[in-house]
Structure 1
Amino acid sequence: MRIGLLGTGPWAERVHAPVLAEHPAFEFAGVWGRRPEAAAALGAQHGVPGQADLDRLLAEVDAVSIALPPTVQADLAVRAAEAGCHLLLDKPVALTVPDARRVVEATGRNGVASVVFFTVRFGGDQIPWIEAQAAAGGWFTGRSDWLGSVFAPDSTSPYAASAWRKDKGALWDVGPHALSVLLPILGDVTSLTAVAGPLDTVHLVLRHVGGASSTLALSLTVPVAGGGTGMELRGEAGTVHLPERGEGPIAALHRALDALDESVRTGEPHPCSAAFGLRTVEILAAAERSLAAGTTVAV
């Protein structure tokens, strides 16, 4: 399949473009960005054209990989789907439920495949771990900490200039990662309570359809010395912990593209399709309602 890249920022340059240039199932065909000069420069690094005309790029490719903020992703994803392009999406799919639903409806209406790139969900050690815990069942509680330092005073993160992350905080940035692992193991969320912590920190308590409960601590403002991630499950099988990530996002993106390729070939939706992305957005939006109301809300 010929694939195009939408986006020219750090995530596109450091992760998406190199993987698209290397993946054996795809032919990297071009780059589009909101700044044509940036698209041309990034394309030149990989020997592909930088397109100023998005519709022209969409007409020349079979799929697109989107590395853009969620504030613009939904509109572009719908536009790409309407052009018949399969979609590799970033998380969160959108920042509102109606926008995320539009993406799902567009994929169904146009018969295109979709995969949302949750980096941990496509980790080499994490994939078999998630499958094993889902098969084991009998879980009583889960705990997940995603404590980043993107906006800490001494942060050197390349994403510290991200306007949407400053506006929406950890709930929408790292919350999807935690949900992408918890939901396939503990089941869908039926209700939740959200409480604000320091700065952008949010604490969630989730009730899952199978009866288990889980707690999440999410932040992008933890001091660098106190940051880190971890997940623990307790139940009939004892206590287990999510394996630490021993690889970067490039290997995970290769697996996400493998998943998109398989979904296109088989016609079977991937578990991390746009529909799953919509469900995570519905849960995050419910958390915002809980924060505003100071009470438990149904999801």
Structure 2
Amino acid sequence: MRIGLLGTGPWARAVHAPALSGHPGLEFAGVWGRRPDAAGELAGLHGIRAYDDVGALLADVDAVAVALPPAVQADLAVRAARAGCHLLLDKPLAPTVAQGRAVVGAAEEAGVASVIFFTTRFQPGPEAWITEQAGVGGWFTGRAQWLGAVFTSEGNPFADSPWRREKGALWDVGPHALSVLLPVLGAPRRVTAAAYGPGDTVHLVLDHAGGASSSLTLSLTAPPAAAGAMVELRGAAGVTVLPEATEGAVPALTRAADALLAAARTGTPHPCDAAFALRVTEVLASAETLLHSGTR
């Protein structure tokens, strides 16, 4: 499968390009970026073509991987799907429900596969744990803390990201926490949100359709020594905690690419497809509305 990369930022350079160039089932065919000089530099590092026109890249490939801000990703994903390209997208899918629905609709209409890179879902230990707990049932409550130090650690390459500055932890690390909780506890019937704590720290409480509740604490403003992720479930089977990932983002994205290849080959949607990512976006958008309105 010939695949192109849309995006040239830190995440594209550190994760996407190495994973795509090293994947035995992919031909890394080219890169497009909003800054042509950055696209040229990244292309030179991997011996591929830098495209000045995104339409020309879409015409030359079978799939695209996207490492761009959510609003840009959503618009380009629709365009790529309509060009017949399979989609390897980043989280969040889109910054609004309407844009997310547009991506899902375009992918379904074009019959292309989609995989969204919720990093935890492509790490073997955590993914096996999620699958196991989803089969157990009888959960009473869940608790997630996803604390980043993007805005407090010196020299963090993502600290100046405009969309992270605007959207904060809710939209950056919130998708990670929800990608773990929703497959186990089910879709939420109600969402409550509050902005208590330093910086962009927010708290969500979800009432899940299966009867369980969950709480999420999300931040990109945690002290570096306090940063980290934790998910705990309590129910009839006892107490269990999400295992720590033992591998980095590049092997995880390699598995996401495997998933895209399988979905494209078989026509069977992956659990982390655009439709699932849309459900995550709906939760985030509901929480954002509550936060902006001051409703508790």
- TM-score, normalisation: structure 1: 0.97
Distance 1:158 1:294 in 2: 32
Partner of 1:127: 127
Q: Deviations over 1:264-295 (max 9, x none)?
A: 00001111111111111110010012223444
Matched, 1:4 2:1: no
Distance 1:50 1:224 in 2: 37
Matched pairs, number: 295
Distance 1:226 1:85 in 2: 41
- C-alpha contact 1:194 1:294 (8 A) present in aligned 2: no
Distance 1:162 1:290 in 2: 24
Q: Give the letter aligned to residue 116 of structure 1.
A: I
Query: 1:236 deviation in Å?
Result: 1.1
Instruction: Kindly report which structure 2 residues correspond to 1:176-255, keeping only aligned pairs within 5 A, or say none.
Output: 176-198=175-197, 199-255=199-255
Distance 1:117 1:73 in 2: 13
Q: Deviations over 1:83-109 (max 9, x none)?
A: 100000100011011011100010011
- C-alpha contact 1:70 1:93 (8 A) present in aligned 2: yes
Instruction: Kindly report which structure 2 residues correspond to 1:26-175, keeping only aligned pairs within 5 A, or say none.
Output: 26-152=26-152, 154-175=153-174
Distance 2:154 2:188 in 1: 33
Matched, 1:261 2:261: yes
Q: Judging changes above 3 Å, is the alpha-carbon distance between structure 1 residues 161 and 292 closer, same or farther for their aligned structure 2 residues? A: closer
Distance 2:85 2:42 in 1: 21
- TM-score, normalisation: structure 2: 0.98
Distance 2:104 2:215 in 1: 28
Q: Give the letter aligned to residue 95 of structure 1.
A: P
Query: 1:33 deviation in Å?
Result: 0.4
Q: Indicate the RMSD between aligned Cα atoms, in angstroms.
A: 1.0
- C-alpha contact 1:155 1:224 (8 A) present in aligned 2: no
Distance 2:263 2:238 in 1: 35
Q: Give the letter aligned to residue 270 of structure 1.
A: H
Residue segments in structure 1 that go unaligned for 5+ positions in a row: none
Distance 1:116 1:130 in 2: 17
State the secondary structure of the residue aligned to 1:271.
coil
Distance 1:190 1:140 in 2: 15
Q: Deviations over 1:46-83 (max 9, x none)?
A: 11011111111111100000011112111100111111
Higher mean C-alpha displacement, 154-163 vs 238-247? 154-163
Distance 1:120 1:197 in 2: 26
Distance 2:293 2:11 in 1: 35
State the secondary structure of the residue aligned to 1:116.
strand
Distance 2:236 2:256 in 1: 32
Q: Give the letter aligned to residue 114 of structure 1.
A: S
Query: 1:32 deviation in Å?
Result: 0.5
Instruction: Kindly report which structure 2 residues correspond to 1:12-31, keeping only aligned pairs within 5 A, or say none.
Output: 12-31=12-31
Distance 1:212 1:252 in 2: 29
Residue segments in structure 2 that go unaligned for 5+ positions in a row: none
Distance 2:292 2:32 in 1: 38
Q: Give the letter aligned to residue 57 of structure 2.
A: L
Distance 2:137 2:293 in 1: 33
Task: Extract structure 1 runs of 4+ deviating beyond 2 A.
Answer: 292-296
Q: Give the letter aligned to residue 279 of structure 2.
A: R
Query: 1:162 deviation in Å?
Result: 0.6
State the secondary structure of the residue aligned to 1:265.
helix
Q: Give the letter aligned to residue 144 of structure 1.
A: A
Q: Deviations over 1:213-248 (max 9, x none)?
A: 000000001111222210100001110000012211
